[in-house]
């Protein structure tokens, strides 16, 4: 894409290529001099565009690139252009690690925007922590992490659940059936859900995990029939979520009596499920495409114009978008001071930005204060926002664990 | 046999010079590239492991990533315990999260480095030994071996993903401490670490060559050509096959340990389908008949992957695919076949020269050795 100017194709000869590049201006030559020589600001863009999770992750790439180009088109950051170094880690953790290394150590980027899955974030962590670089991670995740080198733009469990679960109990009843894929994210979310239900007098009738990619739910459906829960609290992801919702519909279950309440289902999953099968069910997220705000109108309009009117925006690519603007705000706050990853991080804390979802703020613990919403899916594939939280909700990645708190000094144990 | 040995030695020496001198020089001894190249060396080791059983004995192991992955998990468990020493009970964080009460018994031995290093080789050997005994005593061959090895790998991968309280699950084992070797805290971006990886690669290849050139190696080649006839001669075919299968597992275990050190985490994708099939491709590209050529294939393909992904952001996977198809179509014996063919042509020509020269009563020019050297 933008970055790999084809001139470098001449360098394919490897070592011999170096001499071939001699005639080009310094900006073409890779390495640590880019920042000083050109005044550009090198940033890494590390989202999978091929492989298993590319369907979702490439939309994060698109949103991130859109923000970068918008910033450059409007004159850059104090006259300096963002110079994106784009990599495709192909949904593979080992490749994530390798490409992150390339960005941090060779291309000397001052920040990386990247990744969707927890596994890929974990793969990149040793690289950014080892070099004290900064990783802007836009996805909701399970919490219980407190790195000083990651800017977490997505929701942690307390932000999605502390209003959602009591609201569900009030409207449908307190008997929850917890259903998720078997990995760390659903288990953590369910730990939090159990704790909230315990506090408000609800109960868990069953907690069930299916393997990743599992797509046959007839036995799960018959267990659900038998238990007759009030709410199916769902943390299935990707194909499993799609398959489950379709089987739910063909089994003839009624969303008004037994709705699926999801923490992971966005416009992307709903378009795969089909609007009719998803209609009437609920999701909790800081952002829905149908959210009504001038910033969101602009964002959606620009996104569809650029990538096609059949595309959707959702709560992860919205974060991928606004994180680039948070980065910009941090650089502006830095002014003439030296641009290093650590300086950017320190300047970013406390900054506010008017994102499509509302005004977000970066906490001292590097997570983001967000605006949780409860949406009900409609047959056109969009969510109708039923409840908006009245204030920004603070991120507490260790919310369910007493005595542990993530602060600006890292994790504190009481 | 003798000539083959000479070719081996020269090929090995050239390969060693390439790995020890040329590769670090090519990247200007820079930390990032040395780290990447150390990763390629680790993958070279596992490509050689594939070739050892496939090229020598005709056993195609599609599940080579199983023993590779075991090696990486063994190393990761040791480094994770080191990193968790300050935690209550020395428990890794993911165990605390999944409400595991105490450290499982099979984690205990990995507190010790010597036991870890031994386990990184021996656990793969035991796994392969048991599987080999079961398969080869049952006279399972060919595509059925491929299917069994592949299925076992996927089963173990699934188990690792599901037992996240013991294994770290989908995310694998992350946040590791650096390895400490005789008081040296290993920096994986340094020249010494690169040479550690290169040393492992060369040592493993040397041992592999010894096995191939031993009497057992001769029997194995005979088995590849006609197992029934070897059996009639009274050899215990299953035993020889199990030996080479286990030796290949040991090599993969070493490779896995190195790989975990380079990347600083272990992941269930290390025993994934795509990586395992890629290993077979590397061996095929290099040439399965020679473990040195296969190692070169592993290193070369991964260097090409790194280079192509850098230059052609959008099309590199496509280009790699085209290269693989071309190799299979036009070079079924891999690069080794190309070089071997060239060597044979050259030696046929020098042979003719030699005859002429002998006829004229002159001294034979020593071109034979030089040309053999170039061709391997």
pLDDT value of position B362: 45
Q: How far apart are CA A395 and CA A385, in angstroms?
A: 21
Provide, as residue numbers in chain B, all residues whose Cβ is less than 8 Å from the Cβ of A101: 32, 35-36
pLDDT exceeds cutoff 60 at A66: yes
Condensed to tens digits (0 to 9), the pLDDT of residues A328-384 reads: 999 999 988 889 999 999 999 999 999 999 999 999 999 999 999 999 999 999 999
Tokens of A226: 């038998």
* A408 within domain boundaries: no
Among B172, B311, B317, the residue with its CB nearest the CB of A4 is B311
Residue B22 contacts A where some CB pair is shorter than 8 Å:
no
Residue with tokens 């991120």: A395
pLDDT band of B115, cuts 50, 70, 90: very high
pLDDT value of position B365: 46
Interface contacts (A, B; CB < 8 Å): 109
User: A183 vs B171: CB contact, 8 Å cut-off?
Assistant: yes
pLDDT value of position B96: 81
Sheet holding A175-181, edge to edge: A203-210, A175-181, A231-235, A260-262, A282-285, A373-377, A383-388
Sorted by sequence, the CB contacts under 8 Å of residue B247 that are 6+ apart come out as B52, B53, B207, B208, B211
Percent of chain A having pLDDT more than 90? 78
User: B307 vs A14: CB contact, 8 Å cut-off?
Assistant: yes
Residue A93 contacts B where some CB pair is shorter than 8 Å:
yes
Q: How far is CA A271 from each of CA A64, A255, A384, B154, rounded to the nearest angstrom?
A: 22, 18, 15, 31
User: A126 vs B175: CB contact, 8 Å cut-off?
Assistant: yes
Q: Which of residues 35-64 of A touch B (CB under 8 A)?
A: 50
pLDDT band of B8, cuts 50, 70, 90: confident
pLDDT exceeds cutoff 70 at B63: yes
User: B313 vs A87: CB contact, 8 Å cut-off?
Assistant: yes
pLDDT value of position B357: 54
User: A122 vs B264: CB contact, 8 Å cut-off?
Assistant: no
Tokens of B90: 């020395």
pLDDT exceeds cutoff 90 at B169: no
Residue B375 contacts A where some CB pair is shorter than 8 Å:
no
Provide, as residue numbers in chain A, all residues whose Cβ is less than 8 Å from the Cβ of B307: 12, 14
**Residue B79 C-alpha, separation from nearest chain A C-alpha, in angstroms:** 13
pLDDT band of A183, cuts 50, 70, 90: confident
Residue B185 contacts A where some CB pair is shorter than 8 Å:
no
In this prediction, residues A226-250 reach a mean pLDDT of 94
In this prediction, residues A236-241 reach a mean pLDDT of 91
User: Nearest CA to B132 among B61, B45, B205, B48?
Assistant: B61
Structure-model confidence comparison of residues B33 and A177, the more confident one:
A177
In this prediction, residues B297-324 reach a mean pLDDT of 84
Residue B50 and residue B295 in contact, taking contact as beta carbons nearer than 8 Å: no
What would the 3-class secondary structure string for chain B be? CHHHHHHHHHHHHHHHHHHHHHHHHHCCCCHHHHHHHHHHHHHHHHHHHHHHHHHHHCCCCCCHHHHHHHHHHHHHHHHHHHHCCCCHHHCCHHHHHCCCCCCCHHHHHHHCHHHHHHHHHHHHHHHHHHHHHHHHHCCCCCHHHHHHHHHHHHHHHHHHHHCHHHHCHHHCECCCCCCEECCEECCCCCHHHHHHHHHHHHHHHHHHHHHHHCHHHHHHHHHHHHHHHHHHCCCCHHHHHHHHHHHHHHHHHHHHHHHHHHHCCECHHHHCHHHHHHHHHHHHHHCCCCHHHHHHHHHHHHHHHHHHHHHCCCCHHHHHHHHHHHHHHHCCCHHHHHHHHHHHHHHHHHHHHHHHHHHCCCCCCCHHHHHHHHCC
* A14 within domain boundaries: no
- Could you tell me if A359 and A214 lie in one domain? no
Q: Which of residues 182-211 of A touch B (CB under 8 A)?
A: 182-184, 187-188, 211
Residue B40 and residue B207 in contact, taking contact as beta carbons nearer than 8 Å: no
> A389: which DSSP letter?
-
Tokens of B154: 């996927």
Domain that holds residue A213: 158-285+373-392
pLDDT value of position B353: 62
- Could you tell me if A135 and A164 lie in one domain? no
Instruction: Report the DSSP beta bridge partners of residue A261.
Output: A233, A282
- Could you tell me if A269 and A359 lie in one domain? no
**Residue A354 C-alpha, separation from nearest chain B C-alpha, in angstroms:** 33
Q: Which of residues 83-122 of B touch A (CB under 8 A)?
A: 94, 97-98
pLDDT exceeds cutoff 70 at B3: no
Residue B218 and residue B240 in contact, taking contact as beta carbons nearer than 8 Å: no
Sign for the pseudo-dihedral over CA of B108, B111, B112, B113? positive
pLDDT value of position B95: 87
Structure-model confidence comparison of residues B370 and A181, the more confident one:
A181
pLDDT value of position A127: 93
Residue A219 and residue A244 in contact, taking contact as beta carbons nearer than 8 Å: no
Q: How far apart are CA A189 and CA A142, in angstroms?
A: 6
Residue A111 and residue A136 in contact, taking contact as beta carbons nearer than 8 Å: yes
Mean pLDDT (chain A) is 88
* A405 within domain boundaries: no
Using N-to-C axis directions, what is the helix angle for A54-73 and A294-307, rounded to 10°? 110
Tokens of A286: 């800081």
- Could you tell me if A54 and A202 lie in one domain? no
- Could you tell me if A204 and A261 lie in one domain? yes
Closest residue of B to A401, CA-based? B97
Query: Which of A115-119, B77-81, B122-126 comes out lowest in average pLDDT?
Result: A115-119
**Residue B295 C-alpha, separation from nearest chain A C-alpha, in angstroms:** 20
Condensed to tens digits (0 to 9), the pLDDT of residues A85-110 reads: 999 998 899 999 999 999 999 999 99
Structure-model confidence comparison of residues B30 and B17, the more confident one:
B17
Residue A404 contacts B where some CB pair is shorter than 8 Å:
no
pLDDT value of position B55: 92
Percent of chain A having pLDDT more than 70? 91
**Residue B343 C-alpha, separation from nearest chain A C-alpha, in angstroms:** 26
pLDDT value of position B99: 78
- Could you tell me if A364 and A252 lie in one domain? no
In this prediction, residues A287-298 reach a mean pLDDT of 95
- Could you tell me if A382 and A304 lie in one domain? no
- Could you tell me if A312 and A261 lie in one domain? no
H or E element: which one contains A166?
A: helix A164-172
Among B26, B169, B314, the residue with its CB nearest the CB of A14 is B26
pLDDT band of A226, cuts 50, 70, 90: very high
Closest residue of B to A91, CA-based? B269
Tokens of B348: 């046929």
* A10 within domain boundaries: no
Specify which of A324-333, B169-178, B309-318 reaches the highest per-range mean pLDDT.
A324-333
**Residue A48 C-alpha, separation from nearest chain B C-alpha, in angstroms:** 11
**Residue B358 C-alpha, separation from nearest chain A C-alpha, in angstroms:** 44
User: A126 vs B306: CB contact, 8 Å cut-off?
Assistant: no
Condensed to tens digits (0 to 9), the pLDDT of residues B231-290 reads: 999 999 999 999 999 999 999 999 999 999 999 999 999 999 989 999 999 999 999 999
Among B265, B306, B311, the residue with its CB nearest the CB of A123 is B265
pLDDT band of A8, cuts 50, 70, 90: very low
Q: Which of residues 234-273 of B touch A (CB under 8 A)?
A: 259, 263-265, 267, 269-270
- Could you tell me if A260 and A378 lie in one domain? yes
Q: How far apart are CA A56 and CA A316, in angstroms?
A: 9
pLDDT band of B167, cuts 50, 70, 90: very high
pLDDT band of A158, cuts 50, 70, 90: very high
- Could you tell me if A78 and A119 lie in one domain? yes
> A27: which DSSP letter?
G
pLDDT exceeds cutoff 70 at B368: no
Closest residue of B to A400, CA-based? B97
pLDDT exceeds cutoff 70 at B338: yes
Residue with tokens 């009497």: B215
pLDDT band of B352, cuts 50, 70, 90: low
* A80 within domain boundaries: yes
Q: How far is CA A202 from each of CA A236, A343, B239, rounded to the nearest angstrom?
A: 21, 46, 62
pLDDT band of B118, cuts 50, 70, 90: very high
- Could you tell me if A257 and A381 lie in one domain? yes
Residue B225 contacts A where some CB pair is shorter than 8 Å:
no
Mutate to test the interface with A, among B40, B73, B174 (most CBs of A within 10 A): B174
pLDDT band of B28, cuts 50, 70, 90: confident
- Could you tell me if A113 and A223 lie in one domain? no
Residue B32 contacts A where some CB pair is shorter than 8 Å:
yes
H or E element: which one contains A194?
A: helix A184-200
**Residue B74 C-alpha, separation from nearest chain A C-alpha, in angstroms:** 17
**Residue A408 C-alpha, separation from nearest chain B C-alpha, in angstroms:** 20
* A19 within domain boundaries: no
CATH number, domain at A143?
Answer: 3.40.50.2300
As for how many domains chain A has, the answer is 2
Q: How far apart are CA A351 and CA A345, in angstroms?
A: 11
pLDDT exceeds cutoff 70 at B162: yes
Closest residue of A to B303, CA-based? A14
Condensed to tens digits (0 to 9), the pLDDT of residues A184-212 reads: 899 899 999 999 999 999 999 999 999 88
Q: Which of residues 272-331 of B touch A (CB under 8 A)?
A: 274-275, 306-307, 309-314, 317
pLDDT exceeds cutoff 80 at A163: yes
Structure-model confidence comparison of residues B355 and B92, the more confident one:
B92
pLDDT band of A35, cuts 50, 70, 90: very low
Provide, as residue numbers in chain A, all residues whose Cβ is less than 8 Å from the Cβ of B189: 105
pLDDT exceeds cutoff 90 at B318: no
Angle at the Cα of A27 from the Cα atoms of A26 and A31, rounded to 5 degrees: 85
Buried b / exposed e over A123-145, threshold 16 CB at 10 Å, is bbbbbbbbbebbbbbbbbbbbbb
pLDDT value of position B373: 39
């Amino acid at each position: 894409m933008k970055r790999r100017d084809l001139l470098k194709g001449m360098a394919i000869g490897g070592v011999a290529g170096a001499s071939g590049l001699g005639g080009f201006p310094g900006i073409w030559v890779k390495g640590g001099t880019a920042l000083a020589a050109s005044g550009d600001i090198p940033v890494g863009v590390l989202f999978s565009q091929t492989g298993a999770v590319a369907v979702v992750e490439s939309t994060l790439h698109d949103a991130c690139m859109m923000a970068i180009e918008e910033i450059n088109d409007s004159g850059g950051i104090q006259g300096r252009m963002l110079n994106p170094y784009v990599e495709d880690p192909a949904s593979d953790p080992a490749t994530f690690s390798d490409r992150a290394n390339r960005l941090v150590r060779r291309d000397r980027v001052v920040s990386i925007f990247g990744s969707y899955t927890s596994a890929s974030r974990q793969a990149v962590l040793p690289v950014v922590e080892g070099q004290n670089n900064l990783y802007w991670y836009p996805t909701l995740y399970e919490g219980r992490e407190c790195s000083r080198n990651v800017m977490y733009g997505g929701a942690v469990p307390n932000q999605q659940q502390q209003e959602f679960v009591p609201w569900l109990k009030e409207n449908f009843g307190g008997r929850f059936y917890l259903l998720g894929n078997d990995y760390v994210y659903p288990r953590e979310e369910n730990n939090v859900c159990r704790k909230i239900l315990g506090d408000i007098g609800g109960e868990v009738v069953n907690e069930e995990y299916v393997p990743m990619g599992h797509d046959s739910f007839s036995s799960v459906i018959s267990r659900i029939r038998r238990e007759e829960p009030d709410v199916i609290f769902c943390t299935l992801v990707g194909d499993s979520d799609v398959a489950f919702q379709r089987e739910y519909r063909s089994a003839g279950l009624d969303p008004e009596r037994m709705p699926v309440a999801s923490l992971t289902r966005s416009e992307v999953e709903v378009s795969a499920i089909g609007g009719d099968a998803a209609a009437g069910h609920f999701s909790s997220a800081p952002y829905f495409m149908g959210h009504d705000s001038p910033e969101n109108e602009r964002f959606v309009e620009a996104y569809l114009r650029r990538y096609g009117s059949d595309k959707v925006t959702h709560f992860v690519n919205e974060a991928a978008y606004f994180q680039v603007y948070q980065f910009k705000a941090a650089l502006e706050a830095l002014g003439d001071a030296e641009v290093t990853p650590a300086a950017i991080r320190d300047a970013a804390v406390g900054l506010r930005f008017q994102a499509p979802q509302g005004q977000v703020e970066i906490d001292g613990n590097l997570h983001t204060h967000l605006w949780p919403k409860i949406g009900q899916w409609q047959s056109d594939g969009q969510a109708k926002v039923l409840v908006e939280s009245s204030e920004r909700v603070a991120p507490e990645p260790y919310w369910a664990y007493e005595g542990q708190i993530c602060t600006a000094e890292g994790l504190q144990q009481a | 046999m003798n000539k083959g040995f000479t070719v081996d030695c020269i090929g090995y020496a050239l390969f060693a010079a390439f790995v020890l001198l040329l590769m670090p020089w090519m990247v200007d001894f820079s930390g990032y590239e040395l780290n990447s190249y150390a990763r390629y060396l680790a993958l070279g080791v596992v490509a050689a492991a594939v070739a050892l059983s496939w090229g020598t004995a005709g056993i195609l192991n599609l599940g080579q990533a199983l023993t590779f992955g075991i090696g990486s998990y063994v190393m990761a468990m040791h480094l994770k315990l080191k990193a968790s020493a300050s935690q209550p009970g020395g428990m890794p964080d993911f165990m605390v999260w999944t409400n595991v009460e105490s450290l499982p018994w099979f984690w205990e031995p990995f507190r010790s480095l010597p036991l870890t290093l031994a386990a990184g080789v021996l656990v793969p050997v035991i796994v392969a030994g048991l599987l080999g005994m079961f398969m080869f005593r049952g006279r399972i061959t060919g595509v059925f071996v491929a299917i069994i090895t592949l299925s076992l790998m996927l089963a173990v991968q699934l188990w690792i993903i599901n037992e996240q309280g013991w294994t770290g699950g989908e995310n694998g084992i992350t946040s590791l401490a650096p390895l400490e070797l005789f008081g040296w805290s290993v920096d994986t971006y340094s020249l010494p670490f690169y040479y550690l990886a290169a040393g492992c690669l060369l040592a493993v290849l040397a041992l592999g060559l010894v096995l191939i050139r031993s009497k057992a190696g001769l029997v194995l080649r005979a088995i590849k050509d006609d197992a029934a006839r070897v059996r009639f001669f009274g050899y215990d075919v299953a035993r020889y096959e199990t030996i080479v299968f286990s030796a290949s597992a040991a090599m993969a275990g070493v490779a896995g340990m190195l790989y975990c050190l380079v990347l600083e985490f272990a992941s269930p994708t290390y025993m994934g389908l795509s990586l395992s099939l890629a290993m077979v491709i590397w061996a095929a590209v290099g040439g399965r008949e020679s473990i040195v050529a296969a190692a070169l294939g592993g290193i070369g393909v991964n260097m090409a992957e790194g280079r192509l992904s850098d230059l052609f952001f959008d099309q590199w996977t496509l280009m790699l695919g085209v290269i693989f198809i071309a190799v299979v179509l036009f070079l079924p014996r891999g690069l080794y076949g190309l070089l071997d063919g060239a060597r044979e042509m050259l030696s046929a020509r020098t042979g003719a020269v030699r005859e002429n020269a002998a006829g004229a009563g002159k001294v034979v020019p020593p071109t034979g050795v030089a040309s053999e050297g170039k061709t391997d």
